Amino acid sequence: MIRKLSTSKENIVEYEVDDKITEEENEQVLEELKGLINEYGQIRLLVRLNEMAGVELSAIDKRVKFAKEHLSQIEKYALVSDSNLAEYVSKVSDKMTNMDMRHFAKDEEEMARSWVRDD
């Protein structure tokens, strides 16, 4: 399940992810992000990963396509999780893309939020 959290700026969006993300949830989030990109040019994300069982296979293709098309329009991406895999993914993504992606432990969520919001 994925749910949107409140934000203070229009081009900043925060999500919390628990358990498995369905194709329908994935589609809703990607459409919302596309709309924000169209409106603001660039967006900033904060994603809090809790217990995550995975993503429906049909949703993975859409996420990859979205990333190819819009990666340069994601200005900052904070990934909040205590998972070692999430930390590794953020380090690799930050080095291999133009997107500024950082991992924060769950107890650093306010620090992550400040980082995403700061210009």
Domains and CATH numbers, the chain: 2-117 (3.30.750.24)
pLDDT, average across residues 92-103: 75
The chain-wide mean pLDDT, for the chain, equals: 83
Q: What pLDDT, on the 0 to 100 scale, is given for residue 15?
A: 92
Strand order in the sheet with 100-104: 2-5, 12-17, 43-49, 74-80, 100-104
12 vs 95: which has the higher pLDDT: 12
d(CA 7, CA 13): 6
Predicted confidence band of residue 94 (pLDDT cuts 50, 70, 90): low
Task: Spell out where the chain has E strands.
Answer: 2-5, 12-17, 20-21, 43-49, 54-55, 74-80, 100-104
Q: What is the pLDDT of residue 43?
A: 93
pLDDT at residue 95 tops 80: no
Q: What is the pLDDT of residues 32-71, one digit of tens each?
A: 999 999 999 999 999 998 876 555 555 556 776 787 788 8
